[in-house]
C-alpha cells in the first residue's frame, strides 16, 4: 500500500498527485467512470463500472476529485477495444471502450434512472434501446475546427473538456462520403489556395446525403472571405462528389460554428436526402438529424400511431423533418419553429413533396407563441402534440399551455433523459400518464440517447 493509500484510509485529505487504486461503480454520459475515495466522489475517463483502476488525482474539490487513469487492473467483460486512434483524446466519442450491446443496455438504464430519480416515475415501461446493425460511419454532418497554430493550418475536433484542437485526417464515425472528403482535404492542405482558405476559416461544416452520395461544404469565416472564394473551384474539382461550397460569415458569437449570412461560392448550396419516402433538401448548416438510418427506425416506430390521419401540432419543428412525415400519412400539421431559415426550408420541402396543402408553419419562439390566440386555439383543437425540443427541454410556460389545452396525446422526442424526466414530472402532475418509453441510439459510441415518450391525458 502506498503512502497516498495509507493517508486515504486514515481519513487524511486526498491531494492532487496522489496515486491510488479504486473500484468503479458507474459511468457518466461524458465517458467518465465514477468511484469513491472515502467521502469524495472520483471522476476518471477510461474505467468502466466493475473495473478496478490505478489513478493519479489531478484536481480536488470540496465534494469530488478528478483523476487520470494510469492502468486498468481488473477489466469488465463489457470492455471493448476502441477503433479510433484518437479515442480518449478527441471529445467526439465517449463510449468506444464499451462494447455495443453494453452501450445499448447502459443507455436504457440512463433513461430509467432519470425517470425515477428526477421524474419520480418508477416502474415505467422503458423498452430496450433500439440500436444500429453497424454502429459506425453514420454521422452525416461534421463540424471541423481549424487549428491555426500549425503551418499550414490543420483541421480537427475539440479535445475532451477543452477548446484545444485534436488534428485529424480521417474519422470512422462520419459517413464514408464525409470521411473521403476529410482525407482529400488533408491531402490538399499544402496547396496554396487551400492553405490560404484555412488561414481565414474558423470552421468547416460539411454534410452528406445517403440518397445521392453527394456532400456540401460551408467555410465559416469572420467576414466575407476572398480566399474561400478562390479555393472553391479547386475544392469542387478535387473533392469527388462535392456538390457545392458556400461561405458562412457574420458570426453571432465567438463560438458560433455557422454565421448568420451565407453566399454561394460554386455549385449547389443544398443536397437531397430521403427518409421514409419523404424528400428533404438540406444545406451544410441545416438543423437536420445526423443519423438517417436511425431516423428511419424512429419513422417506422411511429407509423402504427399514424392511422387514421388526424390533426397534429409540431412544436420545435425545425426543417419539418417530422411534420412532413405526418403530412405524408395524411395528417394536417401545424409546425412551429423560431429559426427563420429552418421554416423556409420546411416550407420548401413541403412544396417539393406536394404536401403544401396539409402543412402550415409559424415562425417564432414556442414559449411566446403558445400564449397567442391562434396557437392556443390550435392546441385546443389538435388530436396529438409532437414535441422535439432542444437539449434544455421545454419551459413551464409551454408545458402549462399544453396541459391547459388538454391535448389528448403527446409524443415527446427528447435528446436528454434528464430534461425529459423533469418535463414529464410536470405533465404528470397536470394530469398526464406516461405510456411507453422507447430509447433510440441516435449517436452510437457517445453518451447521448434519444428517447420517444408517449403521454396521454387521463
The residues assigned a catalytic role are 415
Q: Which of 340, 341, 323 is nearest to 332 (CA)?
A: 323
Query: Where do we find the cell 479547386?
Result: 234
- C-alpha to C-alpha distances, 266 to 229, 232, 270, 287, nearest whole angstrom: 8, 7, 11, 22
C-alpha cell at 135: 454502429
Strands 384-387 and 311-315, bridge-based pairing: parallel
Is the bond leading into 308 cis (omega within 30 degrees of zero)? yes
HSE of 278, CA atoms in CB hemisphere, 13 A: 27
Q: Is 277 left (phi over 0), alpha (psi -120 to 50) or beta?
A: left
Helix (H, G, I), strand (E, B) or coil at 435: strand
C-alpha cell at 111: 433513461
Judged on CB neighbours under 10 Å (0-12, 13-18, 19+), 354 is: exposed
- Describe the strand order of the beta sheet including 332-337 as a list of residue ranges: 359-363, 332-337, 311-315, 384-387, 409-414, 450-457, 432-440
Helix (H, G, I), strand (E, B) or coil at 433: strand
- From CA 193, how far away is CA 199, in angstroms rounded? 10
Each as own residue / partner, the long-range contacts of residues 162-165 (CB below 8 Å, 24 or more positions apart, any chain) are: 162/91
128, 108 contact by CB (below 8 A): yes
370, 343 contact by CB (below 8 A): no
- From CA 307, how far away is CA 365, in angstroms rounded? 30
48, 97 contact by CB (below 8 A): yes
- C-alpha to C-alpha distances, 346 to 306, 350, 356, 357, nearest whole angstrom: 20, 6, 10, 13
Amino acid at each position: 500500500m502506498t503512502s497516498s493509500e495509507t493517508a486515504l484510509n486514515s481519513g487524511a485529505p486526498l491531494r492532487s498527485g496522489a496515486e491510488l487504486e479504486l473500484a468503479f461503480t458507474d459511468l457518466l454520459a461524458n465517458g467518465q467512470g465514477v468511484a469513491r475515495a472515502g467521502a469524495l466522489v472520483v471522476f476518471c475517463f477510461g474505467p468502466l463500472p466493475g473495473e478496478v483502476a490505478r489513478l493519479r488525482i489531478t484536481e480536488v474539490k470540496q465534494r469530488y476529485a478528478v483523476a487520470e487513469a494510469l492502468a486498468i487492473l481488473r477489466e469488465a467483460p463489457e470492455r471493448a477495444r476502441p477503433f479510433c486512434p484518437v479515442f480518449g483524446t478527441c471529445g467526439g466519442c465517449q463510449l468506444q471502450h464499451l462494447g455495443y450491446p453494453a452501450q445499448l443496455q447502459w443507455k436504457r438504464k440512463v433513461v430509467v434512472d432519470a425517470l425515477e430519480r428526477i421524474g419520480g416515475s418508477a416502474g415505467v415501461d422503458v423498452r430496450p434501446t433500439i440500436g444500429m446493425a453497424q454502429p459506425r460511419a453514420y454521422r452525416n454532418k461534421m463540424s471541423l475546427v481549424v487549428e491555426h497554430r500549425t503551418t499550414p493550418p490543420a483541421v480537427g475536433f475539440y479535445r475532451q473538456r477543452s477548446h484545444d484542437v485534436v488534428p485529424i485526417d480521417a474519422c470512422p464515425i462520419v459517413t464514408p462520403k464525409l470521411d473521403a472528403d476529410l482525407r482529400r482535404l488533408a491531402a490538399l492542405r499544402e496547396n496554396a489556395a487551400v492553405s490560404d482558405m484555412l488561414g481565414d476559416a474558423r470552421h468547416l461544416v460539411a454534410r452528406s446525403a445517403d440518397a445521392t452520395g453527394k456532400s456540401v461544404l460551408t467555410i465559416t469565416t469572420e467576414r466575407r472571405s476572398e480566399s474561400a472564394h478562390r479555393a472553391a473551384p479547386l475544392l469542387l474539382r478535387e473533392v469527388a462528389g462535392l456538390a457545392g461550397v458556400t461561405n458562412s460569415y457574420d458570426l453571432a458569437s465567438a463560438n458560433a460554428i455557422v454565421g448568420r449570412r451565407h453566399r454561394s461560392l460554386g455549385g449547389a448550396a443544398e443536397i437531397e436526402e430521403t427518409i421514409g419516402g419523404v424528400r428533404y433538401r438540406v444545406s451544410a448548416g441545416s438543423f437536420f438529424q445526423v443519423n438517417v438510418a436511425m431516423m428511419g427506425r424512429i419513422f417506422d416506430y411511429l407509423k402504427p400511431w399514424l392511422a387514421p390521419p388526424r390533426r397534429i401540432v409540431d412544436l420545435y419543428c425545425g426543417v419539418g423533418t417530422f411534420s412532413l412525415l405526418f403530412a405524408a400519412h395524411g395528417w394536417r400539421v401545424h409546425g412551429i419553429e423560431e429559426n427563420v431559415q429552418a421554416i423556409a426550408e420546411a416550407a420548401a420541402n413541403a412544396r417539393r413533396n406536394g404536401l403544401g396543402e396539409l402543412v402550415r408553419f409559424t415562425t417564432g419562439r414556442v414559449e411566446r407563441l403558445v400564449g397567442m390566440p391562434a396557437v392556443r386555439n390550435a392546441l385546443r383543437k389538435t388530436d396529438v402534440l409532437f414535441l422535439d425540443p432542444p437539449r434544455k427541454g421545454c419551459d413551464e410556460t409551454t408545458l402549462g399551455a399544453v396541459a391547459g389545452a388538454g391535448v389528448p396525446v403527446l409524443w415527446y422526442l427528447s435528446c436528454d433523459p434528464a430534461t425529459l424526466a423533469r418535463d414529464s414530472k410536470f405533465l404528470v402532475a397536470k394530469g398526464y400518464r406516461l405510456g411507453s418509453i422507447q430509447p433510440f441510439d441516435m449517436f452510437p459510441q457517445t453518451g447521448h440517447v434519444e428517447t420517444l415518450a408517449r403521454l396521454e391525458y387521463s
